[in-house]
Amino acid sequence: MDRLAGKVAVVTGASRGLGEAIATGFAREGASVVLAARTVADLDRVAARCRDAGTAQVEVMTTDVTDEDQLTALVDTTIARLGHLDVFVANAGIAVPSVTDRRMTTLETYELDVVERLFAVNTVGMWLSMKAALPVMPVGGSFIAIGSELGRMAGAGAGVYAVTKAGVDLLVRIAAAESAARRVRVNCLSPGGMVDTHLFGPNKMPDYIKAHVPWSAPEVIVPAAIWLASDESESVTGKRLAGTEFNQTPLEDLRAGLEDA
């Protein structure tokens, strides 16, 4: 407990799923948390969970990660209210069912507006989050980009979603190199397949993804997220960490085997 005491953490996409699990985990470890998403009612529900978990302070801000002004306001308001920004978890993301009820499984079945929306949230939204947060994070700051195993699965059916997540891997490597001199670390945290994040819509995760990606409940990612947010990972940057592997691998072996993002 209290591994994150004194730290201020922003979590985007905090209204459900992975974001809710990470924010609640941070709260249990004593961090002050700023919850960002587009739906106020869900954010208020998560804020209540964070208070019950023991957070030092919780703030709620409606934020669309495709809007640069809103992300700038999120960061500026966090610093104005809480004094600093130590951890930024860029978790907001969408898949095809978040945009349309249609299932698009091969590249030629995608529609342009769906592709544009996927890139706007998953890739451009990640870049905008980095642009807003990284310049103001202090020495020891930790930016955690939520990636996906699909970003490394260049096979049939991986789709445009996989391409957007591959872009996240590259953004992490570049941002880590650019932030190293200021001792702000940037890492990619890949949860594996999540069965209940609302990412895949009412039908949940497609069978072709389940066949290739380990899948579990959102809470599996929390220990790895806490470690990356804490000072325990101060020497780790530009890496990709899988949440499920973190839970199964001794820490000393994990440090030695971390992949570049």
Of 79, 188, 78, nearest in space to 123 by CA: 188
Q: How far is 178 from 187, CA to CA, in rounded Å?
A: 13
Q: Which of 26, 110, 143, 161 is catalytic?
A: 161
- Please name the residue that has the structure tokens 């004094």: 83
Cβ burial 239-254 (10 Å sphere, 16+ → b, else e): bbbbbbbbeeeeeeeb
Q: How far is 17 from 39, CA to CA, in rounded Å?
A: 13
Cβ burial 208-232 (10 Å sphere, 16+ → b, else e): ebeeebebbebebbbebbbbbbbee
Sheet holding 8-12, edge to edge: 58-62, 32-37, 8-12, 87-90, 142-146, 185-190, 239-242, 259-260
First and final C-alpha spacing in the chain = 29
Active site residue 161: yes
Q: Give every CB contact of residue 172 below 8 A, 6+ residues apart in sequence.
A: 145, 147, 186, 187, 188, 238, 240, 261
Tokens standing for 61? 């801000």
The DSSP code for 150 is G
Q: Which residues are catalytic?
A: 161
